[in-house]
Structure 1
Amino acid sequence: MSQVGRRRLGNWLTYSGFQRLYSSSTKELVITDKFSTLRPEYKSPRYPIVLCHGFSGFDKLAFPKLTDVLNQQKKLESAVEATVDKLSSPLVSLDYWMGIREALERIGSTVLIAKVPAFGTIKERAESLNEFIERQCKQLRKKESKASIYDTGSADSRSFKHINERIKVNLVAHSMGGLDCRYMISKLEHKSFEIVSLTTISTPHHGSECADFVVQLINQFPALKAVCPKSIPELTTSHMRQFNKEVLDDPDVSYLSYGASFDPHWFNIFKITSDIMKTRIKSENHKNDGLVSVESAKWGHYLGTLDQVDHLDLINWTNKARTMVDKAMFAHDPKFNAIALYLDVADNLYKHGF
């Protein structure tokens, strides 16, 4: 059997393994408290993880110290020098993947944090993502041994610089990031790396009814078109139907997905968007996370619906506030910890040979 044939057979067996493991009823696919707390142990996947952010996302935002900003106003003569110094030593930084990278690295994963145009088109973002991974893998090829990149237990001290093979990677994407990944896998060439899996977290694979609403609003008020990001029309249900016909899955890549749904309280930032989506979703299942419906999030092997989790909970942005509100107003602890989700994603990849 050829090398390509063996690889495809291996991927098919992996595919079958996922299919057998998750071929349970729809009711069993609703995840309520599986990710409420951390387990004592998680395994790291064999290959590096690339975290891919969603619409309007970033890798990290840094803010200069407030005291330095005030001092700058008093010392106009050294404003330029002060600005350079202060911006290089921020007091506050905001991560898109809040605490997730650190948790994955703690269990031994090699983690790359991608940064693509926040409001770019899917094609633009995919090309940027491809270039980012190419750059990172070229650096790894030069500096790192194979054993330090792959968590396989091997003592292989050779560098990829001297091995004629691409670096294998696992893609883990939130929201629109999953569409960037699918386009990149299907349409772009990868010279330095090979994608073995894509795990999407609440990605609008079949479009977002919220995007439908925004586009309809713009059509009624054309003046809004000037301020509407060009990626919004691409996230509509009609555009994604065409996208799915043209952007085909790679049989050598395993596609996995999670969705999320919640019943918003009046103070939740997604209360309005969730209600809008419920009135526009055409399927019988109106469940959504505030921006993406459960049905739209399903792609490849669907691993389950995270219950009572909104779109920002999925990247650990609202856990602290949510914990305080849940304890103060509803006298119970939240049943979702985003860190536990991503550690389980890593552990799951390990179990299936990735």
Structure 2
Amino acid sequence: MQRNATTQYPVLLIHGLFGFERIGHFEIFHGIKQALRNAGVRVFVPYLSATHCNEVRGEQLLVQIDRVLAGTGAGKVNLIGHSQGALTARYAAAMAPQVVASVTSVSGPNHGSELADFLRKALRPGSLPEHVASAVVTLFADFLSLLSGHPQLPQHAVASLNALTTEGVATFNAKYPQGLPATWGGEGPEQVNGVHYYSWSGTVQGSLLDEGVNSVDPLHQICRAFSAYFISEAQENDGLVGRYSSHLGKVLRSDYPLDHLDSLNQTAGLVRKGIDPVELYVAHAERLKNAGL
């Protein structure tokens, strides 16, 4: 039966680091945008810098929110941000709460990423490795922007990495605390300045032998390898973001059996059994609709 998740306000899906809307037939939110449209949602994917700080990406997002509002006649938008996209959405909501109905963080590093901390320490400030890594990553981001049709977007690899460390996000949170939990691992206020806040995320669980056919997914193998670099949230992370670090507003669940890229439906729909990442987005759109959003 046809789902009806027609939200009052349009939904913007906001990508994170190295993200884009589409390259050829490949979409970063694989199958998610179409599933939402099939359920009656007006959905857009803004184009943002693949690598940059949260504030620069947030300002880019605010410009495109204005365009969506002008094009649809809507008064507000619902923002669903994956990974760094959650921080981008939070910035936009803090700066312009009058045009944001809700912010939903999907696998967002709302208290920073231990993996980013490890990488930041590995790239010594002012050293040749940092300069080389920055140049390579920026070139890669420029290449992604070119392929996605937006070569004009600025890129800044080191700024994006700094923005994702626990120190960098702590500085960000001091300026934009809306929706944050008062205690570690808790829930934050569900509504601040008229904006509703939600979050969900997953964790890498069990051993690779427990994954069945998902064990041959190279993206899952990468996330599982990265999960070993977490200390405070060891065995409680999705490979890039810790479970409790992801908490924001109303926590829908933070231990889905999903790695960081599964929550974008990247190959998850092909090899993972027992959970459908796309369904999480459609169900959330129904939640937003029922809340009058």
Q: TM-score, normalised by structure 1?
A: 0.65
Which residue, out of 27, 50, 54, partners 1:118? Answer: 50
Counterpart of 1:287 in structure 2 is 236
In the alignment, the residues of structure 2 paired with residue 307 and residue 320 of structure 1 have an alpha-carbon distance, to the nearest angstrom, of: 14
Counterpart of 2:8 in structure 1 is 46
Unaligned 5+ segments in structure 1 are 1-38, 63-92, 142-148, 150-166, 324-333
In the alignment, the residues of structure 1 paired with residue 281 and residue 8 of structure 2 have an alpha-carbon distance, to the nearest angstrom, of: 15
Counterpart of 1:274 in structure 2 is 227
Name the SS for the 2:248 alignment partner: coil
1:140 aligns with 2:72: yes
1:106-255 pair list within 5 angstroms:
106-141=38-73, 167-187=75-95, 189=96, 194-219=99-124, 222-226=127-131, 227-228=133-134, 229-230=157-158, 231-249=160-178, 250-255=192-197
Name the SS for the 2:81 alignment partner: strand
What is the Cα-based RMSD across aligned positions, in Å? 2.1
Contact 2:80/2:103, CA 8 A, preserved across alignment: yes
Name the SS for the 1:44 alignment partner: coil
In the alignment, the residues of structure 1 paired with residue 263 and residue 71 of structure 2 have an alpha-carbon distance, to the nearest angstrom, of: 30
Unaligned 5+ segments in structure 2 are 135-156, 179-191, 209-214
Which residue, out of 89, 92, 97, partners 2:29? Answer: 97
Question: What is the CA distance between 1:251 and its match in structure 2?
Answer: 2.3
1:64-103 pair list within 5 angstroms:
93-103=25-35
303-312 or 215-224, which deviates more: 215-224
In the alignment, the residues of structure 2 paired with residue 220 and residue 172 of structure 1 have an alpha-carbon distance, to the nearest angstrom, of: 33
In the alignment, the residues of structure 1 paired with residue 204 and residue 268 of structure 2 have an alpha-carbon distance, to the nearest angstrom, of: 14
In the alignment, the residues of structure 2 paired with residue 272 and residue 137 of structure 1 have an alpha-carbon distance, to the nearest angstrom, of: 42
Question: What is the CA distance between 1:225 and its match in structure 2?
Answer: 1.4
Letter matched to residue 55 of structure 1: L
Counterpart of 1:256 in structure 2 is 198
Contact 2:204/2:224, CA 8 A, preserved across alignment: no
1:18-57 pair list within 5 angstroms:
41-57=3-19
Letter matched to residue 290 of structure 1: G
Question: What is the CA distance between 1:270 and its match in structure 2?
Answer: 1.2
Name the SS for the 2:222 alignment partner: coil
In the alignment, the residues of structure 2 paired with residue 220 and residue 118 of structure 1 have an alpha-carbon distance, to the nearest angstrom, of: 22
When residues 41 and 137 of structure 1 are mapped into structure 2, their CA distance, relative to the original with a 3 A threshold, is closer
Contact 2:4/2:40, CA 8 A, preserved across alignment: no
In the alignment, the residues of structure 2 paired with residue 299 and residue 45 of structure 1 have an alpha-carbon distance, to the nearest angstrom, of: 21
Question: What is the CA distance between 1:99 and its match in structure 2?
Answer: 1.0
In the alignment, the residues of structure 1 paired with residue 225 and residue 124 of structure 2 have an alpha-carbon distance, to the nearest angstrom, of: 20
Letter matched to residue 23 of structure 2: L
Counterpart of 1:326 in structure 2 is none
Counterpart of 1:348 in structure 2 is 287
Contact 2:2/2:39, CA 8 A, preserved across alignment: no
Question: What is the CA distance between 1:220 and its match in structure 2?
Answer: 8.1
Question: What is the CA distance between 1:221 and its match in structure 2?
Answer: 8.9
After superposition, the C-alpha distances for 1:87-144 in whole angstroms (9 at most, x for unaligned) are xxxxxx2101111111111111111111100001111111111111212222234xxx
When residues 220 and 131 of structure 1 are mapped into structure 2, their CA distance, relative to the original with a 3 A threshold, is closer
Question: What is the CA distance between 1:320 and its match in structure 2?
Answer: 4.5
When residues 321 and 103 of structure 1 are mapped into structure 2, their CA distance, relative to the original with a 3 A threshold, is closer
Name the SS for the 1:270 alignment partner: helix
Contact 2:69/2:76, CA 8 A, preserved across alignment: no
In the alignment, the residues of structure 2 paired with residue 320 and residue 347 of structure 1 have an alpha-carbon distance, to the nearest angstrom, of: 21
Which residue, out of 22, 42, 58, partners 1:60? Answer: 22
Letter matched to residue 256 of structure 2: D
Q: TM-score, normalised by structure 2?
A: 0.78
Contact 1:42/1:343, CA 8 A, preserved across alignment: no
Contact 1:47/1:170, CA 8 A, preserved across alignment: yes
In the alignment, the residues of structure 2 paired with residue 173 and residue 194 of structure 1 have an alpha-carbon distance, to the nearest angstrom, of: 16
Question: What is the CA distance between 1:197 and its match in structure 2?
Answer: 0.6
Contact 1:171/1:195, CA 8 A, preserved across alignment: yes
Letter matched to residue 260 of structure 2: H
Letter matched to residue 169 of structure 2: M
Question: What is the CA distance between 1:182 and its match in structure 2?
Answer: 0.9
Question: What is the CA distance between 1:321 and its match in structure 2?
Answer: 4.4
Name the SS for the 2:199 alignment partner: strand
